[in-house]
Structure 1
Amino acid sequence: MAGVVRKQQRPSLRAWLGLTAALAALVVVVLGVLYAGHSEPGRVDRWIIQPTADSVRPPWRRVALAIDFLGEPAGAATLVVAAVAGCLLLRRPRAAVLVVAGAGLTVGTAKLLKHLVGRTIHGEGNLCYPSGHTAFLTALALVVALLAADRFGLGRTAGTLLVLTAALTAGAAMGWAQVALSAHYPTDVLGGWCTALAVVPATAWLVDRIADNGRWQRL
């Protein structure tokens, strides 16, 4: 997708990403309906952890804060600029476009869903579903993994494993930080992760269509 995957790999990875996107979108919708308007953790959330201000103590709290920073405006902008610079250095302009579009649309979708679902944490006004931090880092990891799969000429199995591992690692790291810092419920994190899995493949397809119609340089 988005020219990141070699021609012979495209059909298999596209099929996997398309199926994943559909399932992820379903999860986002189901969780959104279940927790719409709620202001308390659900049964699953309580089973995992009861959100409190001191869910994690030093030194792990400093680790959680460091990871959380990657989803803040300054940290996110730094990551995006670094990823775009890397794509341009590798002469992959379409991948650079996907970095910006994928991350931007994912975060935008997460923000829209927060207002639609209306779930809150720690008082009215603190919208929490889905987790935008988790969605952002997962989206960026997906794009970088797709580029790496192409760069190293990985086949279907290895490429799929790399993309899945990157998404799981990024989502788990940021998700842990958000729950540990009591910024989100565990189900918010799952919703954010699935938001990225749903939006990035769709964005990649859109970038491909626009690029191919405009005869942009292939990546």
Structure 2
Amino acid sequence: MTGRPAPGVLPPALRGWLGSVAGLAALVVVVLGVRYADGSKPGTVDAWIRGAVDGAGPSWRYVALALDFLGEPAGSATLVAATVTGCLLLRRPRAAVFVVAGVGLTVGTATLIKSLVGRTIHGDNLSYPSGHTAFLTAISLVVALLVTGRLGLGRAAGTLLVLAAALVAGGAMGWAQIALGAHYPTDALGGGCTALAVTSATAWLVDRTADWLVDRTAAADRQERR
């Protein structure tokens, strides 16, 4: 097999840094999960942040509802479909796989953690970590990583873009979930950190798997030509 290899989804300049961030994010998820396991009340930090958010005017509720829709099945499916379509139009099938795998594994992991931690809000509604926050943070991270790779950004610019994407998306959805009373602030933090950890690991896994398949195909082609 000849020709230029398909570009990876994890920019080389960010591999070491992103691995460290993913490890730290995973640690935060575990620590908060242990701290609030089987709980049903806000912690001190939760109460303080919720008090500040509750001071927002009624008109902000519409903004919160619009953001919340992006994490609902219809909204999230639309975002994923649009992103995958963009990747395919740019002839980046590996990137399209990364979009689906990164977001899917993040949401699946958040759902699994919810059942393991057992923190509840408003009765029996499992709350930690926030799946809405995990979703929007994940898809924003996926897009930021793909843009970083496509533009060939260096470590500093790429890091800034990825961090900004995570903070803006996670912060916005986290705020919406708190304002709507759907989650505690620490649920939102756990959701964002879940996305950081899982998306980073998924990017590495997609690249490794794709490269292995390319190598196997190339080896098979060489074998057939003998």
On whether the aligned pair clears a TM of 0.5, the verdict is: yes
Gapped runs of 5+ residues in structure 2?
1-6, 218-226
Deviation per residue, 1:157-196 (Å, 9 max, x gap): 1011101101111000100000000000000000000000
Residues 134 and 174 of structure 1 are in contact (CA less than 8 Å); yes or no, is this contact kept in structure 2?
yes
Instruction: Tell me the residue number matched to 2:175.
Output: 176
- 1:152 CA drift (Å): 1.8
Q: Give the AA of the match of 2:113.
A: L
Q: CA RMSD in A?
A: 1.8
Q: TM-score, normalised by structure 2?
A: 0.89
CA distance, structure 2, for counterparts of residue 50 and residue 106 of structure 1? 29
Separation in 1, partners of 2:147, 2:209: 22
Q: Corresponding residue for 1:143? A: 142
5+ residue gaps, structure 1: none
Once the 2 structures are TM-superposed, how far is the Cα of residue 57 of structure 1 from its aligned partner? 4.3
Q: Give, in whole Å, the separation in 2 of the partners of 1:3 and 1:88.
A: 15
Matches within 5 A, 1:57-136: 57-123=57-123, 125-136=124-135
Q: Cα gap change, 1:77/1:55 in structure 2, threshold over 3 Å: closer, same or farther?
A: farther
Please state if 1:4 is matched with 2:4. Answer: no
CA distance in 2, matches of 1:24, 1:172: 15
Residues paired across the two proteins, number: 210
d(CA) in 1 for partners of 2:24 and 2:102?
18
Q: Tell me the CA shift for residue 56 of structure 1.
A: 4.8
Q: Where does 1:151-166 land on structure 2 (aligned, <5 Å)? A: 151-166=150-165
1:201 counterpart residue number:
200
Runs of 4+, deviation exceeding 2 Å? 54-58
Q: Secondary structure at the match of 1:144?
A: helix
Query: TM-score normalized by structure 1?
Result: 0.91
1:4 Cα deviation after fit = 2.6
